[in-house]
Amino acid sequence: MRVLITGGSGMLGRDVAEAAAEAGHECIPLSHAELDITDLVEVRAAVREAAPDAVINCAAWTDVDGAENAGEAAAEVNRDGAGNVARAADEAGAWTVHVSSDYVFDGTKRTPYVESDQTNPLSAYGRSKLGGEQAVAAAAPSSHTIVRSSWLFGVHGRCFPATILRLAAERDHLAVVDDQVGCPTFTGHLAPALLALAERRPLGIVHVASAGACSWYELAREIVALSGLDCAVEPSTTAEQRRPAPRPAFSVLGSERRGEAPELPEWRRGLEAYMRVGSRS
Could you tell me how far CA 208 lies from the centroid of its own chain?
10
The pLDDT of residue 241 is 87
pTM of the model: 0.96
Q: Residue 149's closest CA among 98, 208, 201? A: 208
Q: Residue 183's closest CA among 116, 105, 266, 256? A: 266
Average pLDDT score, the chain: 96
Out of 113, 125, 217, 274, the active site residue is 125
Percent of the chain residues past pLDDT 70, beyond the cut = 99
Residue 4 and residue 54 in contact, taking contact as beta carbons nearer than 8 Å: yes
Q: Which domains are assigned to the chain?
A: 2-158+183-211+253-266 (3.40.50.720)
pLDDT tops 90 at residue 17: yes
Pairwise CA distance, residues 168 & 104, whole Å: 31
The tally of CA atoms less than 13 A away on the side-chain side of residue 63 is: 12
In this predicted model, what pLDDT tens digit does every residue of 218-249 receive, in sequence order?
999 999 999 999 999 999 999 998 899 999 99
Average pLDDT over residues 91-95: 97
The pLDDT of residue 277 is 83
Pairwise CA distance, residues 131 & 185, whole Å: 23
Per DSSP bridges, beta strands 2-6 and 232-236 are unpaired
- Cross-strand bridge partners of residue 232: 173
113 catalytic, yes or no? no
Question: Predicted confidence band at 1 (pLDDT cuts at 50, 70, 90)?
Answer: very high
In this predicted model, what pLDDT tens digit does every residue of 241-278 receive, in sequence order?
889 999 999 999 999 998 999 999 999 999 999 999 86
The pLDDT of residue 278 is 67
In this predicted model, what pLDDT tens digit does every residue of 163-213 receive, in sequence order?
999 999 999 999 999 999 999 999 999 999 999 999 999 999 999 999 999
Percent of the chain residues past pLDDT 90, beyond the cut = 96
The pLDDT of residue 186 is 98
The pLDDT of residue 215 is 97
Residue 102 and residue 253 in contact, taking contact as beta carbons nearer than 8 Å: yes
